[in-house]
Structure 1
Amino acid sequence: MNAIISASGLASALAGPNPPVLLDVRWQLTLARTAGEPAFDGRFEYGTGHLPGAVYVDLDRELASPPGGTGGRHPLPDTEEFGAAMRRAGVSATRPVVVYDGGQGWAAARAWWLLRWTGHPDVRVLDGGLTAWQGPLETAVPEPAAGDFVPRPGALPLLDADGAAALARSGVLFDARAGERYRGEVEPIDRVGGHIPGAVSAPTTENVAADGRFLPAEELRARFKALGAGDGGEVGVYCGSGVSAAHEVLALAVAGIPAALYVGSWSEWSADPSRPVAVGPDPQ
């Protein structure tokens, strides 16, 4: 099953006999855009125009638990609360789901991964996000009929810190953050810069073209093979807090390569001073 859908493909699906549920997951990592500007509010953006019938989903509140403790900045949401949020949005097990964001794809990928991980069989991300959509938008907030989706976690592979460390030695563990954070040259968010020893730098931004759409599957396969994946071995991905890494898991799925997600990611790993940290351009 395809993990992404084009804007034209979505238009056709919406006109079909079993149109998908649409979830708008606009979100931005940096809350303050620039000094003096208002903080980013995905719900406000949603209210200014969204795909007809789309329901807004809040990444920080519905696709993650509150940060704290050792779970990183975006811990997995409580399963029951996540299921309730998805049912409120109209998600049912027998109806396809399409998720989108403003175009970066990270937030949409997080929703895609959570729904797939909890057992939904048919979820796709709108390739290129809202900016790729050429059809009409609406501002009215829909009131969808309640869905019947019941989460059953475990349908996709998941890593914890120990599992990520082991995979970096036995398989391929990709670090989806920017190269300078991987190398430890800068760290704007977490306690310390660097990477998990043995992890390979693979910035998720290099999986898409200038317009934000994924590179063709064959190009993605070639990229990941050059980085050590694609020959049947185990693959995992982490980032800062488990959001952009979900986008890389999605890119790997487009390439036909299954991969596990380390949700806690660097925000969890680096919070524990006892865990080793590597710096520089090499996995080590």
Structure 2
Amino acid sequence: MTAIISASDLSDELAGARPPVLLDVRWRLSTAGAGAPAFDGRAEYEAGHVPGAVYVDLDAELAGPPGERGRHPLPDTAEFGAAMRRAGVRADTPVVTYDGGQGWAAARAWWLLRWSGHPDVRVLDGGLAAWGDRPLETGAATPEEGDFLPVPGTLALLDADGAAALAREGLLLDARAGERYRGEVEPIDRVGGHIPGAVSAPTTDNVTADGTFRPAAELAARFAALGAAEASEVGVYCGSGVSAAHQVLALEVAGVPAALYAGSWSEWTQDESRPVATGA
């Protein structure tokens, strides 16, 4: 089973005997200051979504409250399970996630469901833009209650100490933009820079101009050049564990298992005693 699905294949599956549950996870990273209007993913969803898709709020349902564990810490397991059941997720039914096109939020939902034990989850490659001129549905879907009960642990998860150790002993990839890794700018978190020993690997380099993933062979070559071929273990972090999930997804497409440091840089920098490296 692949971790991504094309729009044409999704269209075929939706018309088939066993259509997947669809989750619309539109979300946008905001660097706007206080008082700026928040991005309203639900309004965009209700204006037009893939037929049958249910809206999932990343900040409210795919993350816990921001704080010492970062800006998007993992949600409470019971609350996450309840949110997925409200969205119609069933243990025996495939799930496809998508977002507005960037893929980060859809990958966060993919990672959480896979980590929680769901066996069949894919991301729509290219997001809603890839759906093209196929019909859209407006308003809000009202799915039948699902039965999914999360059992965390299927995918590898890192804490701060584990991320530090992996940077020394394996390969820890930093999925943020290069200028944030180098510490030249930091628009969101307390301080710029990176975990010592981490390797810069911007998530944006995993996709083509239209937002779809580069071919698996190209991704495998990219990660091999970054050190994945020799590393005993691979892990990924970003600012708050969202774009890093997209990097874990790209690694999955490339055939490289990888752990996620969910707290990421926003958790790492909460503790001023943790070291910060800058530069290339």
1:140-196 per-residue CA deviation (whole Å, 9 max, x = no partner) reads: 312111111000000000000000000001100000000000000011111111000
Q: Distance in 1 between matches of 2:17 and 2:161?
A: 46
Q: Distance in 2 between matches of 1:35 and 1:67?
A: 16
Q: Distance in 1 between matches of 2:34 and 2:194?
A: 30
Residue 4, structure 1, aligned to residue 8, structure 2: no
Tell me if structure 2 keeps the 8 A contact 1:241–1:263: yes
Partner of 1:94: 92
The amino acid that maps onto 1:19 is P
Q: Distance in 2 between matches of 1:107 and 1:194?
A: 24
Q: Gapped runs of 5+ residues in structure 2?
A: none
Partner SS for 1:222: helix
Q: Distance in 1 between matches of 2:63 and 2:165?
A: 25
Residue 156, structure 1, aligned to residue 150, structure 2: no
The amino acid that maps onto 1:76 is L
Q: Distance in 1 between matches of 2:15 and 2:49?
A: 17
* Equivalences for residues 188-267 of structure 1 within 5 A: 188-231=187-230, 233-267=232-266
In structure 2, relative to structure 1, the CA distance for the partners of 1:97 and 1:189 (3 Å cut) is same
Residue 114, structure 1, aligned to residue 100, structure 2: no
Tell me if structure 1 keeps the 8 A contact 2:193–2:278: yes
Partner of 2:269: 270
Runs of 4+ in 1 over 6 A off after TM superposition: 34-37
* Equivalences for residues 30-41 of structure 1 within 5 A: 30=30, 32=32, 38-41=37-40
Q: Distance in 2 between matches of 1:233 and 1:25?
A: 33
Q: Gapped runs of 5+ residues in structure 1?
A: none
Give the superposition deviation at 1:232. Answer: 6.0
1:2-51 per-residue CA deviation (whole Å, 9 max, x = no partner) reads: 0000000101111111100000000001175x999843100010011001
Partner SS for 2:46: helix
Question: What is the root-mean-square deviation of aligned Cα atoms in Å?
Answer: 1.5
* TM-score, with structure 1 as normaliser: 0.96
1:113-150 per-residue CA deviation (whole Å, 9 max, x = no partner) reads: 00000000000000000000031101131211111100
Partner SS for 1:93: coil
In structure 2, relative to structure 1, the CA distance for the partners of 1:36 and 1:164 (3 Å cut) is closer
Partner SS for 2:100: coil
In structure 2, relative to structure 1, the CA distance for the partners of 1:144 and 1:157 (3 Å cut) is same
Q: Distance in 1 between matches of 2:227 and 2:118?
A: 30
The amino acid that maps onto 1:99 is T
Q: Distance in 2 between matches of 1:196 and 1:37?
A: 31
Partner of 1:22: 22
Tell me if structure 2 keeps the 8 A contact 1:63–1:77: yes
Partner of 1:131: 129
Residue 74, structure 1, aligned to residue 72, structure 2: yes
Partner SS for 1:11: helix
Q: Distance in 2 between matches of 1:149 and 1:60?
A: 20
1:54-105 per-residue CA deviation (whole Å, 9 max, x = no partner) reads: 000000000000101x200001000000000000110001000000000000
Q: Matched residue pairs, number?
A: 279
% identical aligned pairs: 78
In structure 2, relative to structure 1, the CA distance for the partners of 1:31 and 1:14 (3 Å cut) is farther
Tell me if structure 2 keeps the 8 A contact 1:31–1:39: no
Q: Distance in 2 between matches of 1:101 and 1:270?
A: 29
Q: Distance in 1 between matches of 2:135 and 2:30?
A: 29
Partner SS for 2:123: strand
* TM-score, with structure 2 as normaliser: 0.97
Partner SS for 2:181: helix
